[in-house]
Chain A
């Protein structure tokens, strides 16, 4: 077991803040914790499934057509998640809207398929997928924490004292997402560069 494959996705190679992949869902669905975690689980499931299948079939796939093959594998898992969520969590599915089918073009998934699962064993690929999925979920939740608390005065739907009567609506709209994301990314870089200065 190579635990480094698991942990690198969470901080050092966090897909959102460091490699900057998959920003669209990170900004669009991070308006509340429930949405962020739902999206995180959906994307993690797709990542694990596609990484596993691709690392299993990589020897049999001709190099020239590998990208279309990856896309078919990924799209299959996305369709499964999409239908599953529509059936079991209709309210969440409604809220996330087109961003569930859009997991197909989430660069994290194709990026990991190409950069990792294509070259490594199935076990390492699953660990990589879980780590990247966790990193994605954590990043989304972090953005959502700020946006839900400041924008709605709630956290996981529970009113937060001080801000609950006077939420700043802008934070749950598109500009709030851009601001929080930009500031968090700057903070991550500042920390990575050695902190206080």
Chain B
């Protein structure tokens, strides 16, 4: 451990950015990054679900799977919990904050199959994080996703009007851009 909660947070956002460094959550990253508005909605929804999922899956691993020696059910239980959690969050937001629901509504169901969410839950367990560390790592991971998504949306709004070769338009040029962004993100490596 390279010391402290804060360094976990910074590492999760910048150095081990979920999208650009760990290559998790590429589908929504490419799919939802064509407009800044939708990128903000998706980023917020993912961050929110990731923190909740990080905390809940940690509790399940610690209080249920390990004591009962059911570690082999990890994948199955985590994905079911995440799916249930997404449904639950959707219902709660719909009842309590309708305006937020309108902004995030369409993105919530997509989050279940976002591999960054299951990925952060599995990584927390593999790295033996405590509850607080898991929550911080999930928050950092979510914000990192948010950050990468917004940067990409900003670039893509410009790319729309650029003179790109026909075959490169849309997804291919997005991947090339993501590659350049990933190289830029290596610059953060010396931060912690």
Contact = CB atoms under 8 A, between A and B. Distances in A.
Interface of A: 20-21, 23-24, 27-28, 67-68, 71-72, 75-76, 78-79, 82-83, 97-98, 101-102, 104-107, 110, 170, 173-179, 181-183, 185-187, 189-190, 193
B187 to A, nearest CB: 12
B49 interface: no
Nearest to B183: A175
A98 B168 contact: no
Closest A-B pairs by Cβ, 4 of them: A182-B175, A178-B179, A186-B172, A28-B23
B182 A178 contact: yes
B186 to A, nearest CB: 8
**A27, A174, A181 interface centre (most CB from chain B within 10 Å):** A174
Given A98-B123, A186-B168, A190-B167, A179 B79 contact: no
Interface of B: 20-27, 30, 72-76, 79-80, 83, 112-115, 117-119, 122-123, 126, 165-168, 171-176, 178-180, 182-183, 186
A6 B172 CA distance: 26
Given A104-B75, A175-B179, A179-B175, A20 B30 contact: yes
Contacts of B180: 175
Contacts of B172: 182-183, 185-186, 189
A82 B123 CA distance: 16
A59 to B, nearest CB: 23
Q: What is the interface of chain B mostly: helix, strand, loop, or mixed?
A: helix
Contacts of B171: 20, 182, 185
A183 B176 CA distance: 8
A75 B179 contact: no
Contacts of B179: 174-179, 182
Given A105-B115, A186-B168, A178 B79 contact: no
Nearest to B176: A182
B120 to A, nearest CB: 10
A83 B72 CA distance: 8
B26 A27 contact: yes
A24 B123 contact: no
Contact of B23 (A27, A101, A104): A27
Contact of A24 (B21, B25, B75): B25
A175 B176 CA distance: 8
Contact of A193 (B83, B167, B176): B167
A102 B122 CA distance: 9
Nearest to A170: B183
Give the one of B25, B75, B174 with max A CB within 10 A: B75
A97 B22 CA distance: 12
Contacts of A190: 167
